A and B are shown apart, each in its own frame.
Chain A
C-alpha cells in the first residue's frame, strides 16, 4: 500500500542535541511538507519542497533544516538552535492537484528531556 512513513514514532532528545526525523513516501508525489503541532493547536509549516533538490522555508523554519535529495525522502533535522522543540511533527505530501489534498504520515512525537 502507498503511503507516508514517519520514524521514529517517539523520540527523546537531550538539550543541545540535533535529531533527524525521517519521512519517506512511495506515492510518487512531488511536493512534500513538514508541519509542527503543539498541544491543542493548529499545524504550522516548517519547510516544504515542491521538487527534488529544492525546498523553501515555511512560517517557523528557525532552528530546523531539511534536505530533498530523493523524491521519496524529506528528512527534517531539529537542531540545538530550536529552543522549544517538544512537539508533534507531521510530514505530508500533496496528493492531488485537482483538490489539493494532502496525505499525512502518522507523525513523530519529539520530547526534550
Chain B
C-alpha cells in the first residue's frame, strides 16, 4: 500500500515563506501532486512532480527527491487567501489513482 506523512498544521504571517514537507512510502512511484483546499470547498490542483527537482509556478514551488521519497511545497510571499489545507498525493505504479496525505492546515496571520 501507500502512506504519506505531512505536518498537520503550520502558522505564518503575511509575506513569509512556508515549506510543507511530505514523505511517502509506496510500492512503485510515478509522481507527487499537491492540492489546495479551502474550508468547505473542493481541492484544486497546484502541481505535479514526476522527476527530481524544483517546479516553480508563480508564488508556489514544488520539489521532489525520488531517492529520498520526499517532496515539499513552498509557499512564498504568503497572502491571507493562502490560508487553506494543502494535500500531497502520490501516484503509485499500481493503478491510475492518487493516494492523498492527511493534509496540512496553513494559517496565515496579519
Contacts and interface: CB of A to CB of B under 8 A. Distances in A.
Interface size class of A (residues with CB under 8 A): 20 to 34
Contact of A50 (B31, B41, B96): B96
Given A41-B103, A42-B102, A104 B44 contact: yes
Interface of B: 4, 30-31, 33, 35, 41-45, 47-48, 87, 89, 91, 95-103
B98 A102 contact: yes
Q: Is the contact region of chain B dominated by helix, strand, or loop, or is it mixed?
A: strand
5 contacts: A43-B100, A45-B99, A50-B96, A102-B43, A104-B44
B29 to A, nearest CB: 12
A1 to B, nearest CB: 15
Interface of A: 31, 33, 35, 40-45, 48, 50, 56, 58-59, 90, 94-95, 99-107
